[in-house]
Homo-oligomer: A and B are copies of this chain.
Amino acid sequence: MQSVRNDIHTSSIPALCQSCESRHQGICAALNAQQLSALSKHTRRVHHHAGDQLLADAEPITSYGNVLHGVVKLSKILEDGRQQVVGLQFAPDLLGRLFANESRVTAEAASDVDICMIPKLALEALVRQNPELEHRVMLQTLRELDEARDWMVTLGRKTAAEKVASFLYLIASHIDPGGEVTTFDLPLSRADIGDFLGLTIETVSRQMSKLKADNVIEIENYRHVLVPDLARLRVRCG
């Protein structure tokens, strides 16, 4: 661990944070200039390419990560290789389970991502002295729990067609600027979508083709989707 000189005469915001798109979002919004300054001495911004593994299941966690850009995929794998995606994280979500010594999921960059790495002990110390920060993380955790439970309904009780519509609606909602027509890039491959929905690649592909044939969506380049009318997609979600 490096020695840290803390300049108590200025509480200016660190350059790294000043230009950071998450400065006023997520956990950083709960920090004052001085805390931000102290924390930023330990953080570093890293870039990962799609497919890179960020956390391995059952491996020790040494850092938390603040997702700045891109999408991170959380998944669990059974011994025989069956995989289930259990969550997606978008900016400015915090990556890594607070207070846990080892990860309970595998985290992979679903797209190219930028992440602000925060050493485990640095963040936990800050949490202890700043209840507002824990409160922020608490709110994110509650939201993730809500999302997980919503998804359990999709996994347990919806048909393949409803599952695929629900996934597209989920992504569209995350992107949606509110306009009538919505376009977006899928952050996941067909294989990952299948692992998210508990379906095979083939079934995902067939249902997407069906939605296209029914003019609910348009597809260009596999990854780019256009939804002319979100409400018409919505009613397919079951």
Q: What does the 1/0 interface line of A116-135 toward B look like (CB < 8 Å)?
A: 00000000000000010011
Interface size class for chain A? Answer: 35 or more
In the complex, what's the smallest C-beta–C-beta distance from A203 to chain B, in angstroms? 13
Closest chain B residue, CB of each to CB of A144: B145
Residue A139 interfacial (CB < 8 Å): yes
Closest chain B residue, CB of each to CB of A156: B198
A76 and B100 alpha carbons, distance in the complex (Å): 29
Residue A5 interfacial (CB < 8 Å): no
Residue A87 interfacial (CB < 8 Å): yes
Return 17 A-B CB contacts under 8 Å, by A number: A76-B152, A78-B153, A78-B158, A82-B157, A82-B238, A83-B157, A86-B152, A100-B142, A104-B146, A134-B134, A138-B138, A141-B142, A151-B152, A155-B156, A155-B198, A156-B198, A157-B198
Known: A78-B157, A84-B156, A97-B146. 15 other contacts (CB 8 A): A74-B149, A76-B149, A78-B238, A82-B157, A86-B149, A98-B138, A98-B142, A131-B131, A134-B138, A138-B138, A145-B145, A152-B155, A155-B198, A156-B197, A156-B198
